[in-house]
Structure 1
Amino acid sequence: MVVDLSCPLCLAPVSDLFARAHGRRYRRCVGCGLIFMEPADRLDPAAERARYETHQNDPADAGYRGFLDRLAAPLVERVVAEIPSGAEGLDFGSGPGPTLSIMLEERGMQMSIYDPFFAPDRSVLERTHDFVTCTETVEHFFDPRREFERFDRLVRPGGWLAIMTEWPPGSEAEGSPGESPRGDGLRGERPRGDVPRGDRSRGPLEAAAEDPVPDPAVFEGWYYTRDPSHTCFYGPRTLRWIAGHFGWELELPRRNVAIFRVPGGTGVDF
């Protein structure tokens, strides 16, 4: 028997099983589009840490740096346009081999890092930052709503939250970033159906309805589901829901990269 669960992002009830992959069950929220692993199938903390310790994140690896530059380059372009030097950033989920923070320091940023397993200094979570980066991390969240609420507190008014995570196959419409020269309104777009910042109970659901629904069979064969620590999957629809819920501006400069802008500060039109 399939038991109703609440979406860990928008809290809507989710009744139907979406897919099974590698012995794990996944649901898909029709409200925000998030695909999430059923809680009973998640790793325990010891197994989760052991999985992360297998990650090979070498700051000297040119290929890995090139991968991270997919996020770093568009973020730096935006930050230095308004804060020419000394911007303060936090790399959230820096992992066992912090690399993005080093790359950003090389470009003149002042960086702090946080990781619950490998850099657990929580003092960096008690102050705000000009920007927060989160690469290959949001897919590991058990409670994405709580974590994005944390991001909302961590980023200063007018600051940026830059995320990189693999989008589920088939979750983006033709013409999405990285798929076509056309931006189709995704780059620099404030989510349509946006809600006032004071009303956080709803998201841009009408705007999200145009995005295709991923094929469960394709999802089950997707390489990203092989990792048992990947619990949540976000496509453009879910990213727009997040932006609308928090009153953030959203840019999708390339596939798998999202840059949110928090209202307030200089040069932000809200």
Structure 2
Amino acid sequence: MTCPLCHFSQTHFYHQDKRRRYQQCAQCQLVFVEPEFLPNAQQEKHEYDLHENHAEDEGYRRFLNKLAAPLNQVLQPNSNGLDFGCGPTPLLANMLSKSGGHSMHVFDPNYYPNRNVLAQQYDFISCSEAIEHFHTPYREWQIFLDCLKPGGWIGIMTKRVLSKEKFTNWHYKNDFTHVSFFSEATFRWLAERDNLSMTIVSNDVILLQKLA
């Protein structure tokens, strides 16, 4: 089975629960759901429509600020940014626009599918709780690299795989729309391959900078 992130041909069985089987790549260490268990687009969209993340929800704002705050610390004011996978309410983009004066574009395959925004380069890309939904993370990761200016930043928020033992009882994998699970080792492998510096901010936030 081929890894959907790095296209390495050697993967191995990682875990099985009541609903799905998972593989792990021997090269980049990505843990991913086997293709036959991937949800279809209609199933995903129905699940996303059930999410109630409102702009006026202070708890949701605090959650998104876990990514917005460290991004603002490394960005120049009035930077040009892309929020990738923003969902139906582009609150993170609005927060970054207000807090840092950044000019924001948004993309989401379900809610903001205008691919014209992917034809330009940005000072930074934010991706909050979206990367774990990617069926073909190789494709989206390449978009990140292509859309990022030299010296630009990628800010990602996603829960990371810690160990095979902890994965067994990990609530994060129980969402059937979560299909790609990154670990620190996965991000380090990508950073080394793609000439990125990497900063671990917290258990679920990571910053990467495209070296000039």
> Scaled by the length of structure 2, what TM-score is found?
0.95
Per-residue CA shift, 1:10-63, capped at 9, x if unaligned? 222345321112311101122211100001100111111111111121111111
Structure 2 SS opposite 1:148: helix
Provide the C-alpha distance between the structure 1 equivalents of 2:199 and 2:158, rounded to a whole number of angstroms: 14
1:95 to 87, 106, 109: 87
2:54 alignment counterpart: 58
The unaligned stretches of length 5 or more in structure 2 are none
Deviations 1:69-101 (Å, cap 9, x if unpaired)?
11111110100xxx23x2111100000121101
Q: How does 1:1-270 map to 2 (within 5 A)?
A: 5-79=1-75, 83-84=76-77, 86-107=78-99, 108-168=101-161, 171=162, 213-215=163-165, 218-264=166-212
Moved over 6 A (4+): none
Do the aligned residues in 2 keep the contact of 1:243 with 1:260 (CA within 8 Å)? yes
Give the structure with the larger strand fraction: 2
Q: Given residue 198 of structure 2, which amino acid in structure 1 is its aligned partner?
A: L
Alpha-carbon contact 2:123-2:149 (below 8 Å) kept: yes
The structure with more helix, counted as a fraction of residues: 2
Q: CA deviation at 1:258?
A: 1.0
Q: CA deviation at 1:118?
A: 0.3
Q: CA offsets per residue over residues 96-128 of structure 1, 9 Å max, x none?
A: 121101111111111111000001111111111
Q: Distance in 2 between matches of 1:64 and 1:14?
A: 39
- 1:150-207 Cα distance to aligned partner (Å, 9 max, x none): 1001111111011000112xx2xxxxxxxxxxxxxxxxxxxxxxxxxxxxxxxxxxxx
In the alignment, the residues of structure 1 paired with residue 18 and residue 120 of structure 2 have an alpha-carbon distance, to the nearest angstrom, of: 40
Contact 2:3–2:25 (CA<8 Å) still a contact in 1?
yes
For the 8 Å contact 1:89–1:131, the answer to whether it is kept is yes
- Residues 12, 26 of structure 2: 8 Å contact kept: no
- How large is the Cα RMSD of the aligned pairs? 1.2
Q: Which has the larger radius of gyration?
A: 1
136-145 or 218-227: bigger deviation: 218-227
Structure 1: any 5+ residue segments left out of the alignment? 172-212, 265-270
Counterpart CA distance in 2 for 1:50 and 1:135 is 19
Counterparts of 1:238 and 1:150, CA distance in 2:
18
Distance 1:66 1:7, change over 3 A: same
